[in-house]
Amino acid sequence: MKENKNISGFKTPENYFDDFEKRLFNRISEEKFPKSAGHKVPDGYFENLEDRVLKTVINSEKPTKVIPLFPKKYFGYAAAIAACLLIGFTLFNTKTDNSSLDSLQLAAIDTYIEDGNLNLDLYDLTSYIDDEDITDLNFENQQFSETTLENYLLENVDEEILINEQ
């Protein structure tokens, strides 16, 4: 079985390919082919072909009605609806969130001011305080002792400011 593995079973006659070219050219040169194509064009066909084509094209051109898939008025309706929804959403969805200011730690505000990020002088701050705010202050509850206040003033206040204030 292994011996017949590469044998195809087809055989060619002896010297078949030796004279193949001669036999092919002999067959081509035989006069078995027809001498004419069998198709004839009428006389004067190509001389007036252009005129006939133009006549048929001009006669067949009729104005066609174009119907758009999406009329322009629908785009206007869609834009108006979208604008109304946007306005309605912004008006009715505004929740004032005051808790963010309450959650802000006082220490963070103090460090912000101490770092110099708030450019206000003492005079600027006093312009924001009204007489009513001062009268509402309760000085009876002292949170600091006098020695603590005195030490703070001696450490943080310049002598020149104290002299000018007197």
Q: For the chain, what are the domain ranges? A: 101-165
Of all residues in the chain, the percent with pLDDT exceeding 90 is 5
* Segments in the chain forming alpha helices (H): 20-29, 49-60, 72-92, 99-102, 106-114, 122-128, 131-136, 146-156, 159-165
Question: Which candidate, 82, 166, 165, places its Cα nearest to that of 122?
Answer: 165
What is residue 15's predicted lDDT score, i.e. its pLDDT? 83
What is residue 82's predicted lDDT score, i.e. its pLDDT? 93
What is residue 84's predicted lDDT score, i.e. its pLDDT? 92
Residue type, 101: L
Of all residues in the chain, the percent with pLDDT exceeding 70 is 82
